[in-house]
Chains A and B, each alone.
Chain A
Amino acid sequence: MIYRIRHVTTYSYEATVASARCVLRLTPRDDAGQARLFGDVRVVPSARLREETCFFGARLHHAEIDTPHRELRIEARARVRITRAAPAAPAEDPAFEAVRAAAATGTSRAPDAPVHALFPSQAVPAAPEIAAWASASLPAGRGVFAGASDLMRRIHAEFAYAPGETDVATPAREAFRARRGVCQDFAHVMIAGLRGLGLPARYVSGYLRTLPPAGQPRLVGADATHAWVEAWCGPDLGWIGFDPTNAALVGPDHIVLAVGRDYADVSPVDGVVVSSGGQSLSVSVDVVPEEEARGG
């Protein structure tokens, strides 16, 4: 399946902004399960753009803007071919204690190593109450895949999807207490639960196709960027994607933008501007399968 993606971010400022420094993580990953066929980022007003690869392998752009402006518009376009399918339940599901021990003792610090997803991070600090809640999914000897799937389903069942009630800065503990939030909050809660039990879990930002295939329901989170979780299921199974917002394993409808420890590592636009006024933001995302785009 080939998707065309168009992601436009517009900041409007009350006062003129003299300069801005931004990091843009808007180029989809190119790795197992998906191939980036095209990727392009444009910034208005004109910016000095420098491209680099972040620690976790995402392509990112540094933008330096020194032109005074009242509006900053960032348009990212990409074509991505998805080859992954949602995984079947594994025949051998290792006990979570064994996975925990393997994560703690490995020596690899490579970007894909589980160790990077093991510790508290900026947006997911240690939260013993979430770990205690999550432990019901992982009693002694439980397989890690089965346990993580159960945790995902519990979040989906017990948490209300409530757009607009939380924002990018909402701590996982707050969403957990309220049992409400959006994809980002659910991902953070699931990560906090798994890590609290010593299991590596990381954050994935990406897209869902905007309109479902004929006859299927439209997935939640399809009108903006989406977020889900990858849990490390031992050296043999590796990383497996869980989407707690939809209680689904990650499959051909998910397009990965970036992975990191939490939202702070992968936020699509991050930056500082020198300004004395407020700002407002609008985002639009279109993800369309190429056949439909041609057909339409």
Chain B
Amino acid sequence: MTALTRAQARDLIQGLSHWTRGYAPLPGAADELIGTDGTPRPAWARLAEALGPMSPGDLARGFGSAERHIREVGISYRVHGEAADRAWPVAHLPVVIDAAEWRAIAAGVAQRARLMEALLAEIHAGGEAPDGAPPAAAIVGSPNYLRPLVGVAPPGGRHLSLYAVDIGRGPDGRWWVLNDRTQAPSGAGYALENRIVLSRVYPALMERLRVQRLAPFFAAFRDGLAALGAREEPRVGLLTPGPYSETYFEQATLARYLGLPLVEGDDLVARDGSVYVRTVSGLKRIDVLWRRVDGDYCDPLALDARSRLGVPGLVAALRAGGVAMANMPGAGAVEQPALMGFMALQCRRLLGEDPLLPNIATWWCGEPAAREEALGRLDTLAFADAFVPGPSTLGAELDAAGRAALAARIRARGVDVVGQEVVRLSTTPVWRDGRLEPRPFSLRVYAAATPNGWHVMPGGFARIAERPDARAVSMGEGTLSADVWVLADAPVARVSLVPQERIRRVSGHLPSRAADDLFWLGRYLERAEATTRLVAALAAARLEGGEGGPGDETVVRLEGLVRSLGAVPEEEEEEEDAGEDGDPVGEGADAAPVAALPACDLARTALDDAAAPGSVAASIAFARRAASHLRDRLAPQAWRLVADLSPGAPPGEEAAASPADTLDRAHALLERFAAIAGLVHENMTRSDGWRLLDMGRRIERGLAACRVTGALAGAGATSADLDALLDIVDCQITYRTRYLFGPAPAPVRDLALIDPNSPRSLAFQAERILEHVRALPRLHEDGLPEPPERLAAALARGLAIADAATIDAPTLAGFEADLADLADAIGARYFPRGAAAARPEKLSGLA
């Protein structure tokens, strides 16, 4: 597309007056819509033309669809220091850049990536610094400079596999480097998500405008990672700090998109110079780790001993060449502002080239000349830590005392401080209250190393400030992110991430940690469901029985069961209970002599009180925690169902009085559990992971069957007890079709425990578990059954010959103990660091 004439462009903008009306760039800043010459930039003119036919209504519908997608997929991030994730704020309009301008940016970014690699290689080679090298303090002062990595040749041949750089357009219209990111750049996954969101809003537009696709970049990056491995088909993993990381969602997204397993430090073992993943099939060697753990946290032995995120011995494995890392630990030693002032010189020295992209002018105050200059310009520069990223201070905004303190700090330890030119970032249009407004932004651009050189992502991750006057933009309060569209000159080929590979029907080895989390996800979901069933039965018995009715004994038994599961706090303090809900039904309490709480309150407490470890709310919280480690393995829909699970809004005082309300909420919750079970049953591949999830569910369901049978179908069971039991195990209809008489103990016990065709019976669970352990991998090829298989087979056999008429409390206790042993055996076999979590302990002491 050729540039528009000024008149054509003005017509275009005027043709869109219903939403460009009144748009004016801010004085003193460049703008992405209106160029320095006062006419629309060509890329924005093309976007404006394409948007022309869309009405505000069309846009609103598109944005609505985008926001639904964000909710459904659960795109989130966490502001540092916050516990909960936030929904991702995506700008409704992209930042658009035309191909010619992008080519210049991409060339500059690729050159800077090469420069960073050259500098890292020189730093890590050790030995004396050559003439012209930057001052040692500007490098060594970085907390990312890792001495144990000096002298280690990077396996795979490079320190840097993924480089990111924040750039911004200055008032002169040029792009400037604001920050380098060489440690473990984040945000590429958000770029991907932003693209998916905007493609919902503007499905046809992107094709018409020839927006360059991101998939080829990710394919190149993945190839680059694989090329680091020494073996033919290298195993590549993403090393994550885990769900407490601010960008865990992004890591899970990328792992899923690139088809890499997400591994935590605990999943890995370094042994004899190689690194292995713990899987249900035993230790499997891993060749390449894409690192999202900070370099100094990678190895508590060689690096920061306080780290709980790393792998002891990882650095020794790097030294031995047994594993490659992207980026190498230590790669962060060139991203600090202290080095910025030296980059142009280093570019000429190391590459023999003039820099294509300038960085913002920086004075590192460790150098006497630069320090004096910075001190002389205290009023006009921004001052920041030379090594640790953080907010900068505008000299102009300090009072006399503040300025004196800053000057004193610079004089005592100038090495710690940089002065930087204040850049007025360019603005891009954002949609605010039905019209466009200019907001400053910065752009993060990514470059991936491949065997054929650096591949720059055509696009990136834009951060837009909420306020017009922001100087620096970081993701946090009041920041929007935006997709970045690079408009191609020629039609764009459709390339998605489809590699040429042979067909496989196995999904790789299941890491032990994922096995552990899946198993416990299954257990907690089932436990929550089982307790909800008890709550429903209790509320129903209360509703039907009334006061002094025949159901009272059943209520007492159910209450005893609920208590024995720890679903309500152990010691009831009456004042506290009264304080909680005002207790308007206090008079009902005397009907249940054992309970301090009336039955409906006890049911409600078992539903809502997360402080009681066996409550529905607590089990749901545990399930969610297990699921949060599995975001790369769960379909987004399944994750959302689990994340949204809740016993419902805590009732107000009126509702608290009503067993009907508790019953309604329990039934609503049971539907949600059914939805999750259905999704798992219908949509989840029958992989090892599915088997672990299902085994967890089966163990817990078997335990529930034993307990509820023991409580309601024991020696003195009434017909109301048996009736409640049939409700809980969902067997009313089956029972009625089989028997003409009302509930009798032995037939009910048969259905609840022994009938292998009853999907809630203990026998049914035992047979499914036996199938699973037989299908799971074995560690030895001697053909002997492993402990879980032995125990499952013994349990199934015992149930096959059991007689419902003679099952008594000791028999049930025996079955329960067998299940507990089986669960332990599963843990010991498939995730040896399982529930009793033998965690690494630091050796300590002034030795």
Interchain CB contact (< 8 A) of A55 among B128, B129, B150, B272? B150
- Bound Cα distance from A273 to B837, whole angstroms: 13
* B414 touches A (CB below 8 Å): yes
Docked complex Cα distance between A121 and B133 (Å): 24
Q: Which of A9, A18, A64, A273 contacts B847 (CB 8 A)?
A: A9
Report whether B366 and A23 are in contact in the complex, using a CB–CB cutoff of 8 Å.
no
Q: Which residue of B lies closest to A224 (CB)?
A: B846
Q: Please give the number of chain A residues whose Cβ is less than 8 angstroms from any Cβ of chain B in the complex.
A: 55
Interface string of B347-372 (1 = CB under 8 A from A): 00000000000000000001110000
- Chain B residues near A107 (CB-CB < 8 A): 129, 133-136
One digit per residue, 1 when the CB lies within 8 angstroms of any chain B CB and 0 when it does not, for chain A 53-66 equals 01110000010100
Contact, CB under 8 Å: A50 / B316: yes
Contacts A105-B366, A275-B838 hold; do A23 and B140 have CB atoms under 8 A apart?
Answer: no
Residue of A nearest to B150 (CB): A55
Which one, B71-79, B300-308, B484-492, B706-714, is touching chain A?
B300-308
Complex Cα–Cα for A110 and B140 (A): 11
Which listed residue (B150, B304, B313, B836) contacts A276, Cβ 8 A? B836
B498 within 8 A of A: no
Contact yes or no, A101 B368, CB < 8 A: yes
Contact between chains at B413 and A196 (CB < 8 Å): yes
Among B128, B134, B272, which residue has its beta carbon within 8 angstroms of that of A110?
B128
Q: Is A146 among interface residues, defined by CB-CB distance under 8 A?
A: no
Selected from B300, B302, B414, B843, the residue in CB contact (under 8 A) with A104 is B414
Asked whether, in the complex, the Cβ of B123 is within 8 Å of the Cβ of A21, the reply is: no
A160 at the B interface (CB under 8 A): no
User: B146's closest neighbor in chain A, by CB?
Assistant: A55
User: Which of A101, A126, A270 has the most CB atoms of chain B within a 10 A radius of its CB?
Assistant: A270
- Residues from chain A with a CB closer than 8 A to the CB of B555 are none
Residue of A nearest to B132 (CB): A107
- Interfacial chain B residues near A182, Cβ < 8 Å: 846
Contact B415 A168 (CB under 8 A): no
**Complex: chain B residue closest to A56, CB-CB:** B147
Query: Quick check: is A67 within 8 A (CB to CB) of the other chain?
Result: no
Q: Hey, which chain B residues are within 8 Å of A283, CB to CB?
A: 845-847
A107-B135, A109-B139, A272-B312 are contacts. A281–B847 as well, Cβ < 8 Å? yes
Q: If A50-B316, A184-B846 touch, does A270 touch B305 (CB 8 Å cutoff)?
A: yes
B452 at the interface (CB under 8 A from A): no
User: Given A55-B147, A62-B301, A109-B136, is A271 in contact with B413 using a C-beta cutoff of 8 Å?
Assistant: no
Q: B140 — which chain A residues lie within 8 A by C-beta?
A: 109, 115-116, 118-119
A113 to B139 CA separation, bound complex (whole angstroms): 13
Question: Do B135 and A281 touch (CB < 8 A)?
Answer: no
Contact across chains for B847 and A104 when beta carbons are under 8 A apart: no
Q: How far is the CA of A115 from the CA of B738 in the complex (A)?
A: 86
**Inter-chain residue pair count (beta carbon < 8 A):** 146
8 Å CB contacts to A: which residues of B395-415?
A: 412-415
Which of A81-89, A147-155, A261-269 contacts the other chain? A261-269
CB proximity of A272 to chain B, nearest CB, Å: 4
Asked if A267 and B300 sit within 8 Å, CB to CB, the answer is no
A244 smallest CB distance to B (angstroms): 17
Among A22, A113, A275, A281, contact of B844 (Cβ-Cβ < 8 Å): A281
Bound: A44/B150 CA distance, A:
31
- Which residue of chain B is the closest to A74 with respect to CB atoms? B847
Instruction: Tell me the complex Cα distance, A110–B151, Å.
Output: 11
CB distance from A44 to the nearest CB of B (A): 15
Tell yes or no: B271 within 8 A of A by CB: yes
Kindly state whether residue A208 has any CB partner on chain B within 8 Å.
no
Task: Please classify the interface of chain B as helix (H, G, I), strand (E, B), loop, or mixed, using the class held by over half of its residues.
Answer: loop
Q: Is B840 an interface residue (CB 8 A)?
A: yes
| B148 close to A (CB within 8 Å) | yes
B839 at the interface (CB under 8 A from A): yes
Decide: A113 near B846, CB < 8 A? Known: A21-B312, A23-B302, A104-B415: no
Query: Are B846 and A271 neighbours in the complex by a CB distance under 8 Å?
Result: no
Q: Is B636 in contact with chain A by the CB < 8 A criterion?
A: no
B171 at the A/B interface (Cβ < 8 Å)?
A: no
Asked if A103 meets B312 with Cβ closer than 8 Å, knowing A122-B304, A272-B301, A274-B840, the reply is no
The reply on A106 being an interface residue by CB < 8 A is yes
Is residue A46 within 8 Å, beta carbon to beta carbon, of the partner chain? no
Contacts of A108 in B (CB 8 A): 128-129, 136
**A196 contacts which chain B residues (CB < 8 A)?**
412-413
Contacts A106-B135, A276-B838 given; does A11 touch B846 at CB 8 Å: no
A167 at the binding interface (Cβ < 8 Å): yes
Q: With contacts A64-B272, A107-B136 known, what are 18 further pairs, Cβ within 8 A?
A: A20-B843, A104-B135, A105-B135, A105-B368, A109-B126, A109-B136, A109-B150, A113-B136, A119-B141, A122-B306, A167-B846, A182-B846, A198-B414, A269-B845, A270-B843, A276-B838, A279-B841, A281-B847
17 A–B contacts, CB within 8 A, in A order: A23-B301, A55-B150, A64-B272, A104-B414, A105-B135, A105-B137, A105-B366, A107-B136, A108-B129, A109-B129, A109-B150, A122-B306, A198-B414, A270-B843, A272-B841, A275-B838, A276-B838
Per CB-CB distance, the 9 closest pairs between chain A and chain B, nearest first, are A281-B845, A55-B147, A21-B312, A272-B840, A115-B136, A104-B366, A107-B129, A271-B843, A269-B847
Query: Which residues of A are interface residues toward B (Cβ below 8 A)?
Result: 9, 11, 18, 20-23, 48, 50, 54-56, 62, 64, 101, 103-110, 113, 115-116, 118-119, 122, 126, 131, 167-169, 182, 184, 196-198, 224-225, 264, 267-276, 279, 281, 283
